Amino acid sequence: MKIIAIAAVGRNGVIGRGSELPWDIPEDMKFFRDSTRGQIVLMGRKTYDSLGKALPARRNAVITRNTSWSVPDAEVYSDLPSALKALKPVALSEGKTIFVIGGAEIYSLSLPFLDEVWLTEIDSDFEGDVFFPLYREGRFEAAGFVKGGVREQSDSVSPFHYRFCVYQRSA
């Protein structure tokens, strides 16, 4: 059972602008969907709001401090430890991965618990006000690339170059 943060990040660390993603990269959305389908996704309340609904074909969990907040299509937890306490046995018994899907606040909270970080690293700087938290301070090391070793991607819609990178917790 692994806990993996998955994010797309600009060269300057930007992951969001307001409640939106600063880019449109269909191939990365497909990678995200394919990676998380059938698994457990854990997110902050603002990311849930920006999605507008739970992601289909996944168990969705949301973290909020607001004890009266609820939605019909996701489990709600008031802190990360209680979310992990509930979700880890499910992941273990069902052979699933817990994917932490953002945003910045929840990536930060989850850093001590992560086994891996999967980053789509985009070779462009973006304007934005939400940044990926520091993860390269000795806690994680580069461990290659997801997607069968594909290192560089671009697609017909977006002008960006990007790589699907894996970082593992250092021993």
Ligand X SMILES: NC(=O)c1ccc[n+]([C@@H]2O[C@H](COP(=O)([O-])OP(=O)(O)OC[C@H]3O[C@@H](n4cnc5c(N)ncnc54)[C@H](OP(=O)(O)O)[C@@H]3O)[C@@H](O)[C@H]2O)c1
Interface residues with ligand X (CB under 6 A) are 7-8, 15-16, 19-21, 43-47, 50, 63-66, 69, 78-79, 101-106, 109, 130
Helix or strand (DSSP H, E) at 47: helix 45-51
In the bound complex, which residue of the shown chain has the CB atom lying closest to ligand X?
103
Q: C-beta of 160: minimal distance to ligand X in Å?
A: 13
Pick between residue 61 and residue 109 the one whose CB is nearest to ligand X.
Answer: 109
As a whole number of angstroms, the distance between CA 59 and CA 11 comes to 31
Q: C-beta of 93: minimal distance to ligand X in Å?
A: 25
Pick between residue 66 and residue 93 the one whose CB is nearest to ligand X.
Answer: 66
- Per the DSSP assignment, residues forming a β-bridge with 8 are 120
Helix or strand (DSSP H, E) at 108: helix 104-110
Q: C-beta of 171: minimal distance to ligand X in Å?
A: 27
The number of residues making up the chain comes to: 171
As a whole number of angstroms, the distance between CA 149 and CA 104 comes to 27
Residue in the structure block whose two tokens are 């953002």:
102
Q: C-beta of 9: minimal distance to ligand X in Å?
A: 6
Report how far Cα 1 is from the mean position of its chain's Cα atoms.
16
As a whole number of angstroms, the distance between CA 154 and CA 137 comes to 29
Pick between residue 78 and residue 154 the one whose CB is nearest to ligand X.
Answer: 78
Q: C-beta of 32: minimal distance to ligand X in Å?
A: 8
Pick between residue 50 and residue 168 the one whose CB is nearest to ligand X.
Answer: 50
Pick between residue 28 and residue 59 the one whose CB is nearest to ligand X.
Answer: 28
